[in-house]
Structure 1
Amino acid sequence: MHTLLPTSIVGSLPKPAWLAQPETLWSPWALQGEALREGTHDALRIAVHEQHRRGLDIISDGEQTRQHFVTTFIEHLSGVDFEQRETVRIRDRYDASVPTVVGAVSRREPVFVRDAAFLRTQTDQPIKWALPGPMTMIDTLYDRHYRSREKLAWEFATILNEEARELEAAGVDIIQFDEPAFNVFFDDMRDWGVATLERAAQGLRAETVVHICYGYGIAANTAWKATLGSEWRQYEESFPLLQRSVIDTVSLESHNSHVPMDLVELLRGKKVMLGAIDVATERVETPEEVAGTLRRALEFVAPDKLIPSSNCGMAPLPRSIAFDKLSALSAGTAIVRGELEAV
């Protein structure tokens, strides 16, 4: 891609009301069977259309084919029992009922490849597909089989690599791994988290992204953020490790956060996918607000390495607001692009 400051979204867009409950994170599907497959592809078409219409450069599925960014992938694996459920603490923040690992995990068949191939038919622009990262996957399960977070993470890394290679073969240009757990479990991340992420990305020719955020705009995350003080410095733990990793791009939360912008300096040489849209508010940013965030980032990252984006997924937002935020991202980026090209 040769576009200066190519725009992209991190993850989800709201689903249509006929597919899932509006403004509800991880809502159950309203359709089943063949109607669900058709419905998710229709929703994917709408998501692509809106990204085109709002001026985005890198196109995603808006996670229209996933109920949950982690468990929808795990549902397709053997060795995990969704009937046996346990309550666990997710990222040390909130309790959730999760499935149980009861045997060796393996991937019976491709999970998202058919959906990604369909996305490829809907646009000529570069496409991006998101997968859960190994550390975040193990944080969303109860493990009765391996009894080792590290061992299970390595197993998931191998499975993710199989899926990623097939997504690449289906025409996906950019593969994103979501690792919000990197902002919480620093010791595990240092000891084996980055290594398992690299295993998931091994041998890929597609560009790779790791997305680390502070979560959707839901109450549990908002309450956690309120405890983090006037400066959020969690990225100091992961950025130096990722700067030395094989991952091409690091995606971070920035706009309206308390993340000091100079932490981006720790990623020097990597591409930076910078959140310039806040997903925790229904107020739509002005183009100038977006431009201001991007200008501050350009003090620490070269223009050819900056990818303007959203902070996180927008699934819980009203659809009209999410789409208007896409327009704001494009308009704000266009201001800065013009300034750079005028120099």
Structure 2
Amino acid sequence: MNTLLPTTTAGSLPKPSWLAQPEILWSPWSLEGDALAEGKQDALRVAVHEQTRRGIDIVSDGEQTRQHFVTTFIEHLSGVDFEKRETVRIRDRYDASVPTVVGEVRRERPVFVDDAVFLRGITDRPLKWALPGPMTMVDTLYDAHYKSREKLAWEFAQILNEEARELEAAGVDIIQFDEPSFNVFFDEVADWGVAALERAVEGLKAETAVHICYGYGIKANTDWKAGLGSQWRQYEASFPLLQRSSIDIISLECQHSHVPMDLIELVRGKKVMLGAIDVADERVETPEEVADTLRRALAFVDADNLIPSTNCGMAPFPRRVAEQKLSALTAGARIVRDELARPVRSVA
């Protein structure tokens, strides 16, 4: 697309109350059977309508058809037993009961492709689709079969590539891989994390993105961030590796965070999806606050490579808050877009 500073969202949007209980992660569905299938499509319509109405340029599904950004994908794979659960430490941050890998993992059928076909049929805007990244998938399971995080990641990378190729064929313009684990397991990122991500994008003609954030605004994440000090420099480990990778777009969290803006310099030449909306605070940013974040980023990324976005997903927010934040994002981007379009006056 030719729009300067095209806006988008990093991930999830709140679901309608008739589909799932609001403001809760992993919220169970309120419908069943055919009513659930119809309700999910209605929710996709609403998500696209609200993004379009609020001026979002690159729209997404808002993750309306999934309960969780990782496990909903895994639910469709063979080799994983959701009844056999173990407690594991998620991203070295909090304990969770997770399903167990009991055999070879395989993708028996497409997971999100039908949703993508449906979405492509109701909007002509550029479409972005998020998938979990291989390392983050590994970190959300107990592995009783491969007994190797790296081996399991390579299996997931192959599966993700199959799904991504079909999403591309369905008309998806940008395929995003969510890898919050890249901000935690630095040695693994260097050893095999980026390589597994490269396998997941192999052969794609659609643009590719990796989203690395500090997580939803839940207590476990905010407590973790509180102990990270005055500067969050986790991106320093992954950005140089990603700068040399084939990934087109690098996503990072910047609004109300302690990420030094100059770390963007480490991915010079890549497109940058910049988090300019806080997902840990319900206070709605002013357009000028968003604009200020974007202006500071422009010292380290060319304007035609900057994509204003949210820090992360907004599923836990009330819908009105998320919608107002989307409006603030587009209004802030418009301010900077207008500034960039003004002719520079020469000084006599």
Shorter-chain TM-score category? over 0.9
Cα offsets for 1:205-256 (capped at 9, x unmatched): 0000000000000000000000000000000000000000000000000000
Structure 1 position 31, deviation (Å): 1.2
Structure 1 position 46, deviation (Å): 0.4
Cα offsets for 1:33-70 (capped at 9, x unmatched): 22111111101100100001000100101000110000
Provide the secondary structure at the position in 1 that maps to 2:29: coil
Aligned residue identity for 2:281: T
Structure 1 position 131, deviation (Å): 0.2
Distance in 1 between residues matched to 2:317 and 2:199, nearest whole Å: 34
TM-score calculated relative to the size of structure 2: 0.98
- Backbone CA RMSD of aligned residues: 0.5
Partner of 1:259: 259
Distance in 2 between residues matched to 1:36 and 1:148, nearest whole Å: 37
Distance in 2 between residues matched to 1:118 and 1:128, nearest whole Å: 14
Partner of 1:16: 16
Distance in 2 between residues matched to 1:117 and 1:143, nearest whole Å: 33
Partner of 1:137: 137
Provide the secondary structure at the position in 1 that maps to 2:204: coil
Structure 1 position 104, deviation (Å): 0.3
Partner of 1:166: 166
Matched, 1:222 2:222: yes
Provide the secondary structure at the position in 2 that maps to 1:188: helix
Partner of 1:311: 311
Structure 1 position 317, deviation (Å): 0.3
Partner of 1:211: 211
Matched, 1:237 2:241: no
Structure 1 position 330, deviation (Å): 0.3
Partner of 1:331: 331
Partner of 1:284: 284
Partner of 1:249: 249
Structure 1 position 315, deviation (Å): 0.2
| Within-5 A mapping of 1:80-95 | 80-95=80-95
Distance in 1 between residues matched to 2:248 and 2:254, nearest whole Å: 19
Partner of 1:186: 186
Matched, 1:199 2:214: no
Provide the secondary structure at the position in 2 that maps to 1:58: coil
Distance in 2 between residues matched to 1:64 and 1:198, nearest whole Å: 27
TM-score calculated relative to the size of structure 1: 1.00
Partner of 1:116: 116
Cα offsets for 1:90-129 (capped at 9, x unmatched): 0000111100000000000000000011110111110000
| Within-5 A mapping of 1:16-95 | 16-95=16-95
Tell me how many residue pairs correspond in the alignment: 343
Partner of 2:346: none
| Within-5 A mapping of 1:150-161 | 150-161=150-161
Following superposition, which runs of at least 4 residues in structure 1 exceed 6 angstroms of deviation?
none
The farther-off stretch of 31-40 and 292-301 is 31-40
Structure 1 position 159, deviation (Å): 0.2
Provide the secondary structure at the position in 2 that maps to 1:16: coil
Cα offsets for 1:76-103 (capped at 9, x unmatched): 0000000000000000001111000000
Structure 1 position 175, deviation (Å): 0.2
| 5+ long unaligned stretches in structure 2 | 344-348
Distance in 2 between residues matched to 1:225 and 1:85, nearest whole Å: 28
Aligned residue identity for 1:60: S
Distance in 1 between residues matched to 2:105 and 2:296, nearest whole Å: 44
Cα offsets for 1:256-310 (capped at 9, x unmatched): 0000000000010000000000010000000000000000000000000000000
Provide the secondary structure at the position in 2 that maps to 1:126: coil
Aligned residue identity for 2:235: Y
Aligned residue identity for 1:126: P
Structure 1 position 26, deviation (Å): 1.5
Provide the secondary structure at the position in 2 that maps to 1:146: coil
Distance in 2 between residues matched to 1:122 and 1:26, nearest whole Å: 27
Partner of 2:106: 106
Aligned residue identity for 1:242: L
Structure 1 position 183, deviation (Å): 0.1
Provide the secondary structure at the position in 2 that maps to 1:82: strand
Distance in 2 between residues matched to 1:129 and 1:319, nearest whole Å: 21
